[in-house]
Amino acid sequence: MLKSFSTTGIGSLPHSDPEEACRVIFDSIDIPFWPQLPHRSFLELMTPQYLEGFPFARVEGEHIHVVKAEEEALTSFYEAIAAKTGFSITEERAAGLYKFIDILKKNKQKLDTVKGHITGPLTFTLSLTDEQKRPIFFDDELRELSLELLKGKASWQIEQLKPYADNVLIFIDEPILSAIGTSSYLGVSNAEASRMLTEIVKHIKTCGGIAGIHCCGKADWPLILSSGIDVFNFDAYFYWDTLGIYPEEIKSFINNGGFIAWGVVPTSDIIRGVTLEGLCEQLERGLTSLEKIGVPREKLRRQSLLTPSCGTGSLEIKDALRVFSLLKGLRDKYVTS
């Protein structure tokens, strides 16, 4: 299925041209992913990109308004959920996805694994606010329907990508997980966060996908690891030492076949001063920290992937290219060692 120290990316690239972005990905990544292009359009940002088909939201310019759904649109939404038809993402909101599929169609050889992504249900419902600036997470109906929407976006992607690869990996992008438990989100219980994550992970796997979660900050790792995911992706450049705090949860995850995707290549301006040797040392620190809590080194090597720490969409193009170049170099060091 997933091969030791294979590389993939998180989602966003700084390019505006989808073909150019896809070229970077196919030239440098083991598990190709479709690029999100936030510089191309506001609609490619992580919340509006997945809003299509959601009758409670309207995009005007670069603003999202939560509105009362029209009866006809609401009926269509419920019918789509009942029919389990999935919710498509149009080219207007995901030009990189359509170019990605065009390239896959021209590739005569089926790939082993390709990757898609959705915004996680917590990030989606806590980022989208009503007229009172209250996150829709706190509206029971909107929270549940948002979850159904995102499940539909995941299953649609699996359907679109499955003809071109034996495996489809779907990352649930949950940057807001690092803020759960802080004063800003005191009303979000761990139990509800866990339920939402577990439900969408189960849905991805039921649809034949491989489920992963990406969080670019420090979060409640046991909450994530207990969600049933196949791949756990985190910022291993800054937070490599946080996994060893939870030895039993980590060992259970690994022993059940889970993969750790080490986001060890930073995606901020510091990438300009980072060296391949320094990244190797950082990754070694992370691997050694888990070896010390009882994870066998060879097992850990077999179940490790490599990624950037986050998307590269906020970087200059030259810096994003450096991220992928260093990622490829790091992979070569470990695959040949």
Digit-coded pLDDT (tens) for 13-30 = 999 999 999 999 999 999
Please give the angle made by the CA atoms of 186, 173 and 51, to the nearest 5 degrees: 90
Which residues lie below 8 Å from residue 78, measured CB to CB, with a gap of 6+?
Answer: none
Structure tokens at 66: 């939560």
For residue range 222-237, list pLDDT tens digits in order. 999 999 999 999 999 9
Dist CA 113 CA 108 (whole Å): 15
| Residue 92 pLDDT class (50, 70, 90 cuts) | very high
Tell whether 194 is covered by a domain.
yes
Tell whether 73 is covered by a domain.
no
| Residue 337 pLDDT class (50, 70, 90 cuts) | low
Dist CA 29 CA 119 (whole Å): 22
Tell whether 64 is covered by a domain.
no
Supply the range of the domain harboring residue 146.
18-47+91-336
| Residue 211 pLDDT class (50, 70, 90 cuts) | very high
Residue 170 β-bridge partners: 116, 211
Tell whether 320 is covered by a domain.
yes
Identity of the amino acid at 195: R
Dist CA 74 CA 191 (whole Å): 29
pLDDT of amino acid 218? 86
How many structural domains are present in the chain? 1
- What is the share, in percent, of the chain residues with pLDDT greater than 90? 84
Domain holding 247: CATH number?
3.20.20.210
Structure tokens at 197: 């994550």
Asked if residue 74 has pLDDT above 90, the reply is no
Tell whether 100 is covered by a domain.
yes
- The b/e string for 41-55 (b: 16+ C-beta within 10 A; e otherwise) is bebbbbbbbbbbbbb
pTM of the model: 0.95
Tell whether 207 is covered by a domain.
yes
Tell whether 11 is covered by a domain.
no
Asked if residue 152 has pLDDT above 70, the reply is yes
Structure tokens at 281: 């040392």
Tell whether 148 is covered by a domain.
yes
Q: Looking up tokens 């979000």, which residue turns up?
A: 188
